[in-house]
Structure 1
Amino acid sequence: MKKFFHNNWSLILIFTLSVLVVWPILMPGYFSHHDNLQAMRIFEMRRCFADFQIPCRWVPDMGFGNGYPLFNFYGPLSYYLGAVASFLLGYIWSAKLLFFLPLVFGGLGMYFLGKELFGKIPGTVSAILYLFAPYRALDSYVRGAVGESFALAIIPLVYYLYLRLIKTKEKKYFALATVSMSLLLVSHNIMTLIFTPLIVIWVLFLLHKDKWNGFKIAILSLGLAVGISAFFILPAFLEKSLVQTEALTRNELDFRAQFVKVSQLFIDRSWNYAGSQPQSANTISYQIGWPHWWLVVLSLVAVIFCRKRKDIALFTFYFLLFTFGVYMTHNKSSFVWERINILAFVQFPWRFLSVVIFTSSLIGGYFISLFSGKTRYLFAITFSLLAILLNWQYFKPEHFYFNLTDKELLSGQNFIDQQKGALLDYLPKTALEPRELAPVAPYVVSGKVKISDFINKSDRWSFKTNAESESKIEIPVFDFPGWTVFVNGKESVHTNDNVLGRIGITIPEGMSSIEGRFKNTPIRILGNNLTVLSFIILVLIYAKGRKIFS
């Protein structure tokens, strides 16, 4: 036992300190945050599971009851996990699990990366800095940004595994790096947009240091990661013209309104649970964190003036990334935002704080690595304590709802409010924003017809009619590419030329059986096939591909 603690004291310490950042999650009930749709998304993913709609794309209850293609565009990773967990934990505790996991495992991933780069003690400091970075508290307890939190937990692991892959050329790291990168790609679109180029640069940096040994396996790994995640990323990016994406970049979501001040990054320590209004005092925190940025400055001083030149290329790499991250949060970078159109979907320039906390945590470990003996221990303990004492108080929500149950959250007015939540995010291009909850059944537009046995599932719906004459019916489901209507077993033309863009059909006189099925478009089929093919290739390479790693 003594040997176990001696060998694993760093991991035990990180797990123990994690209690300070996850204790609110362990309380009974639920807690407040901006994006209060986590349980609802898990509920919808469970409906997809029940209907064998895998991968899940269309959800039937959101869109104010009209359904919309949520998981065709919104990073699904955390909700697949949450839906599986919900069979055992229920919806609220599964949602809380999605907050718990990235907070804990982000620190562990940073430890492995920092340890590999700088050693055990510096790696532990990097992990503690990342564990207590204020931006991670903002994501979890203010914004409720589960997908982004998952991405921030996976990113250090991706960096670590590609580092190990290029160092060792071992197939286990090939498989793990590929899988971790694919998980990142399906976790959160905006983090993918920000970090994928930085990960590619990291891989190229490592290959350059290793004289380009392992180039083929690194590129193959990145390619397979893209392939494995193709079921999601292909439709998410190639079908975005099918939804009203302009809603994602207007008003308060316009990046021009979200640049922050230098003082808000480095000096301001205030904490608020309001929305993001950088020009107002009543706004969320945009701080990098103390002592995070202090350590960046100290490292720069040590490199320039104290002739501490250990791993200077590595320090330069991460210092430049840190500077880039800070720069992108400020309005001085506006010309970059204006010229690279896709950056508009990042929405908030301060999201580049993700890059800043990642790099500052690593640079903090680098600073500790510059010293040895008692001095190293002194600095490690001092800055670890500062990171904890200056930041642990941010890791709590504004309100607790101790008595809230699954039944209460997912029924009545609470359920209706969540059906309406994020309504404009992925509204089909042909749809109009509804002002009231969708009807519970199809309704007659013209003619005389009786409608019965309406069933609305995640990827199909059906009902029966008895019409006295040819009649027009509107189904309370938004039309979207993939929906196909069948009347009495035969494919039938449908329209969306009504007020809200719902599916409209004409039915014949007499008894009819009507069915709608949500099918895959060619892009979705291609993405699904690429995922299966890439996964098979990965398995075959791991099992048989000895020559690649020799």
Structure 2
Amino acid sequence: MIDPYRMVFVNLVSSILLLSGILIYRYIYPKRKINLFILLALISILPVISIFRSGTYESGDFNIHIYRIMSFYDSLRERNLMPSWASELNATYGNPLFIFNYNLPYYFISFFHFLGLSFITSMKIYLGLVFYLSGITMYFLVKEITNSKLGAFVSSIFYLFSPYHLIDVHFRATLGESTIFFLAPVLFYFIIKFIKEQRFKYFVICSLIMGLLFLAHPLLATVFLGIGILYILFRDLRNKSYKSTLLQLLALLVGATASIYVWISFILYTPYMFKLSVSTAVSDLQFYPFTQLIFSPWRYGLLFQGPKGELALIMGYVQIFVIAMSIIMIILKKIPKKIQSDYIFWIFLCIFFIFMMHPLSIFIWKYTNYQFFNMVIPYGRLSLAISFCISVITGYFTLSFSDSKIKKKFIYILLIITIGSTILNWGHRRVIPQINDSVLRKNVWISTITEGTTAYFLNNKWADINNFWFSALPEKHLEIINGLGTVQEIKRTSTKHTYIVNAQTPIEIQENTLYFPGWSLSVNSKNNLIYPGKRGVINAKLPAGLQKVELSYNDIPVYRFTKIISVSTFSILLIAFVFSLFPNIKRLTVLSFKNFTSKP
């Protein structure tokens, strides 16, 4: 049986078994209500089963992340607890990947590997875990804002089986976005708890979760930071409660500060980064095909990935129906007054994000950073925010629409369609069991070239656009390009390269490492000037004589300082959280917060 058909068959059988179990339970215990949380926990397993097929994914970013994590793990083993330089990538010339790339998932996957699991298995466990837990976090969020278990259950199903969510986990294998799917509901859950109870521990937790969002994916964390700020302002304006607004906003900003080293790098290193020639003409902005947000062109609209790896980032057919019904219900004033303003807020936000993905929004985008546009819109990343908004909307829709048994049955029919219509997408179409860690390890050095100029900012400004990444291993790590002499390599780690050079004449050397701020050269323990040579590789001039040459990497002082800020802020937040758990201290912190926010 061909792998994709086998996968669908297993998914179908698993679904039938679960459905049969539910029917049997209802038959044996007709008067007992099914625990919706337990049912959610069981349903959440269905799209995860296929992840654990043997082998690696045929397409997507799965292998790219494995290569990066291998380099990340090797750097951790060298006691670089906050790695910056990926030495094995780019044909061992290296690049500053870990300065710019999100790293939270890499720490967890590295930990799983440290426990003895393969990199492939570790990554699959991480993807499966954050997917599974994302439904649970959405359940608790919607239950908190609607006080409805049914609404929370329906929202969680919509969230789990959102086409973009399935695409992220199974087709793209994007670790950062998958983590955001898990963390975003956690953030808003604690924002609401903080708004309601004004407890110090919720301030701390909001800051911690906001910081983790930035460590997971700075770009999308910025989007959710904006949503969080708008939501806080909306709630406080609606309730006419402004005493703690600044504290609520401060909690988010403290979280952003705690992760400063992740996002500040794009500002600090701008003078040295390669600048891709991107047109800034408004007419040249490329939007994601809007029709593919509505309908997928493959398998009658039921498959979200094409034969060549193309993706249709659709919002979901039932999801679109719920949005349309919600708008109609708002116009006809069929929404309970208690939830009307919240309902409208999330509908407005959802429509806004949909609009921002349509070419008509070009008049807004022309006032923003073009690089930001090119990182968000062509890849359809705002679909994650849309999926989040729709899931929250679904909770309110369920609360408004389930006031009779017939309507509740209709809700359950929508759930069955939501789950069933995505079954072809509960796993990557093909895995390759012949590829294991050892095979991938051999290809780490050449992996960067397959990325092209997508991550152009990882190269320096002296790079050759026609030969952007190195495609061949250097014959020697250190070469004499002018003059006479001999070289003996003594030691090489990711951040320190040591040689003994015997120069018969003054020489010019090329150390086959990408030039980037932070690298420095010492000759017989004295600093020596380095400069970028051909294709941005480190060059230097040495005098005649026998000398110990040591090239080492250390973060530039200002970037090192941002790491200190991040570690210090996270440490203080964790200590504050632990202290807030003790009854006596908790009482004091609650009192102090009330005193601080009370009117004089």
TM over 0.5: yes
Q: CA deviation at 1:355?
A: 1.8
Q: Which one of 31, 50, 54 corresponds to residue 28 of structure 1?
A: 54
SS at match of 1:410: helix
Instruction: Find the aligned partners of 1:23 and 1:539 in 2 and give their Cα distance.
Output: 35
Q: CA deviation at 1:306?
A: 5.5
Partner in structure 2 of residue 407 of structure 1: 438
Offset from partner CA, 1:358-408 (integer Å, 9 cap, x none): 111111111111133635642442222121111132122121112322111
Q: CA deviation at 1:27?
A: 1.4
Give yes or no for the alignment of 1:78 onto 2:105. Answer: yes
Map residues 451-490 of structure 1 onto 2, 5 A cutoff. Answer: 451-490=487-526
Partner in structure 1 of residue 359 of structure 2: 331
CA contact (8 A) 2:193 2:202 kept: yes
Give yes or no for the alignment of 1:549 onto 2:593. Answer: yes
Instruction: Find the aligned partners of 2:379 and 2:353 in 1 and give their Cα distance.
Output: 9
Q: CA deviation at 1:349?
A: 6.2
Instruction: Find the aligned partners of 1:485 and 1:436 in 2 and give their Cα distance.
Output: 26
Partner in structure 1 of residue 421 of structure 2: 390
SS at match of 2:119: helix
CA contact (8 A) 1:65 1:419 kept: no
SS at match of 1:285: coil
Q: CA deviation at 1:8?
A: 9.8
Q: Which segments of 5 or more consecutive residues in structure 1 lack a partner in the other structure?
A: 1-5, 277-281
SS at match of 1:246: coil
**Quick one: structure 1 residues 349 and 330, their matched pair in 2 at CA, closer, same or farther if it must change by over 3 Å?**
farther
**Quick one: structure 1 residues 313 and 482, their matched pair in 2 at CA, closer, same or farther if it must change by over 3 Å?**
same
Larger Rg: 1 or 2?
A: 2
Partner in structure 1 of residue 26 of structure 2: none
CA contact (8 A) 1:434 1:500 kept: no
* TM-score where L is the length of structure 1: 0.90
Instruction: Find the aligned partners of 1:296 and 1:287 in 2 and give their Cα distance.
Output: 14
Instruction: Find the aligned partners of 1:346 and 1:394 in 2 and give their Cα distance.
Output: 23
Q: CA deviation at 1:215?
A: 2.2
Partner in structure 1 of residue 70 of structure 2: 43
SS at match of 1:514: strand
Q: Which segments of 5 or more consecutive residues in structure 2 lack a partner in the other structure?
A: 1-31, 580-584, 595-600
Instruction: Find the aligned partners of 2:537 and 2:470 in 1 and give their Cα distance.
Output: 14
Letter in 2 for 1:475: E
Partner in structure 1 of residue 303 of structure 2: 271
Letter in 1 for 2:503: A
Partner in structure 2 of residue 495 of structure 1: 531
SS at match of 2:538: strand
**Quick one: structure 1 residues 255 and 43, their matched pair in 2 at CA, closer, same or farther if it must change by over 3 Å?**
farther
* TM-score where L is the length of structure 2: 0.83
Instruction: Find the aligned partners of 1:451 and 1:105 in 2 and give their Cα distance.
Output: 54
Partner in structure 2 of residue 3 of structure 1: none
SS at match of 2:461: coil
CA contact (8 A) 2:501 2:546 kept: yes
Partner in structure 2 of residue 422 of structure 1: 451
SS at match of 2:317: coil
Q: Which one of 97, 103, 109 corresponds to residue 131 of structure 2?
A: 103
Q: Over aligned residues, Cα RMSD in angstroms?
A: 2.6
Offset from partner CA, 1:498-546 (integer Å, 9 cap, x none): 2111111222323221112212223312312221332344246443671
CA contact (8 A) 1:147 1:187 kept: yes
Letter in 2 for 1:167: K
CA contact (8 A) 1:485 1:516 kept: yes
**Quick one: structure 1 residues 297 and 267, their matched pair in 2 at CA, closer, same or farther if it must change by over 3 Å?**
farther
Q: CA deviation at 1:347?
A: 4.6
Map residues 185-264 of structure 1 onto 2, 5 A cutoff. Answer: 185-210=214-239, 211-246=241-276, 256-262=285-291, 264=293
Instruction: Find the aligned partners of 2:279 and 2:492 in 1 and give their Cα distance.
Output: 33
Partner in structure 1 of residue 550 of structure 2: 515
Partner in structure 2 of residue 279 of structure 1: none
**Quick one: structure 1 residues 272 and 121, their matched pair in 2 at CA, closer, same or farther if it must change by over 3 Å?**
closer
Give yes or no for the alignment of 1:340 onto 2:368. Answer: yes
Partner in structure 2 of residue 532 of structure 1: 567
Instruction: Find the aligned partners of 2:564 and 2:99 in 1 and give their Cα distance.
Output: 16
Q: CA deviation at 1:469?
A: 2.1
**Quick one: structure 1 residues 314 and 244, their matched pair in 2 at CA, closer, same or farther if it must change by over 3 Å?**
same
Letter in 2 for 1:24: S
**Quick one: structure 1 residues 182 and 217, their matched pair in 2 at CA, closer, same or farther if it must change by over 3 Å?**
same
> 4+ runs of 1 displaced by more than 6 Å?
none
CA contact (8 A) 1:271 1:284 kept: no
Q: Which one of 106, 118, 138 corresponds to residue 90 of structure 1?
A: 118
Instruction: Find the aligned partners of 2:215 and 2:303 in 1 and give their Cα distance.
Output: 31
Instruction: Find the aligned partners of 1:255 and 1:125 in 2 and give their Cα distance.
Output: 41
Identical pairs, percent: 22
Partner in structure 1 of residue 145 of structure 2: 117
Moved more, 7-16 or 223-232: 7-16
Instruction: Find the aligned partners of 1:236 and 1:102 in 2 and give their Cα distance.
Output: 27
How many residue pairs get aligned? The number is: 534
